[in-house]
């Protein structure tokens, strides 16, 4: 979290520093991002940077946090229709809102992509631990609501399925990045639709009986 000296800066100066930092992390991996470039383009002394932030990681974490808050604004529009959508429609619309966020905030999306592809998995776990926990609890509540409404099998392990849904979120992006090799966000939505189909219908061949499985 930035130091109080950062928040005491005029709003326009804070925004300039953050925008320059967002551009830097969008263009370079965390390891390759340069504090020197950030301070030079922001028009601040390097010593001032360390009066505002503990280090580069402190700034990076803050940007990831701000990105999450921005994305939540998009997801909130979907959650306003919570009662009108069943569980599967809601999950699809949440993914669609995430894609809209990516299209309208390409630099923040690029930062997320770079973090996902970073070889330093300890960094990924450190940065994403809190969002993962919040995401899992969010899906736990959605699944419980889906069970109450008769949309979800009450025999499932809610905690386990919630964890799987969170990791599927990361897995979709990773699959897309590894297999598609291009920034085709509509292609990502096609993958989401395939995943929703599997979640809803399972992978067992239709029409098979228990005897046929033996």
Domain boundaries, the chain: 57-201
Q: If you search the block for the tokens 């700034």, which residue do you land on?
A: 59
Confidence grade of residue 181 (pLDDT, cut at 50, 70, 90): very low
Amino acid 99: pLDDT: 79
pTM of the model: 0.79
Amino acid 149: pLDDT: 92
Amino acid 176: pLDDT: 62
For 52-71, the pLDDT digits (tens) are: 999 999 999 999 999 988 98
Amino acid 27: pLDDT: 95
Report the distance separating Cα 195 and Cα 4, nearest Å: 44
Amino acid 24: pLDDT: 97
Q: Please report, for residues 22, 40, 59, 203, the alpha-carbon distance to residue 34 in angstroms, rounded to integers and kept in the order given.
A: 12, 10, 12, 47
Report the distance separating Cα 110 and Cα 187, nearest Å: 16
Q: How many CB atoms lie within 10 A of CB 37?
A: 15
The CATH code belonging to domain 57-201 is: 1.10.357.10
Query: What phi and psi values does residue 54 have, to the nearest 5 degrees?
Result: -65, -45
For 107-142, the pLDDT digits (tens) are: 998 898 888 788 888 888 888 877 778 888 889 999
Confidence grade of residue 211 (pLDDT, cut at 50, 70, 90): low
| Contact call for residues 136 and 166 (beta carbons, < 8 A) | yes
Q: Maximum CA pair distance of the chain?
A: 74
Residue 13 has pLDDT above 90, yes or no: yes
Q: Tokens standing for 115?
A: 């973090």
């Amino acid at each position: 979290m930035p130091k109080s000296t950062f928040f005491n800066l005029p709003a326009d100066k804070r925004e300039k520093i953050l925008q320059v930092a967002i551009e830097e992390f969008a263009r370079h991996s965390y390891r390759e991002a340069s504090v020197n470039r950030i301070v030079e383009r922001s028009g601040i002394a390097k010593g001032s940077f360390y009066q505002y932030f503990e280090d580069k990681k402190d700034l990076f974490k803050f940007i990831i946090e701000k990105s999450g808050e921005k994305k939540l604004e998009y997801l909130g529009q979907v959650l306003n229709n919570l009662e009108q959508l069943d569980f599967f429609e809601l999950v699809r619309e949440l993914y669609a809102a995430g894609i809209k966020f990516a299209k309208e905030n390409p630099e923040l999306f690029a930062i997320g992509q770079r973090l996902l592809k970073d070889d330093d998995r300890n960094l990924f776990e450190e940065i994403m631990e809190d969002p993962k926990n919040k995401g899992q609890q969010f899906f736990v509540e959605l699944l419980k609501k889906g069970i109450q409404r008769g949309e979800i099998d009450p025999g499932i392990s809610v905690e386990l399925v919630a964890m799987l849904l969170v990791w599927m979120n990361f897995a979709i992006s990773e699959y897309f990045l590894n297999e598609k090799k291009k920034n085709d966000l509509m292609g990502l939505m096609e993958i989401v639709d395939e995943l929703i189909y599997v979640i809803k219908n399972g992978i067992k061949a239709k029409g098979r009986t228990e005897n046929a499985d033996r």
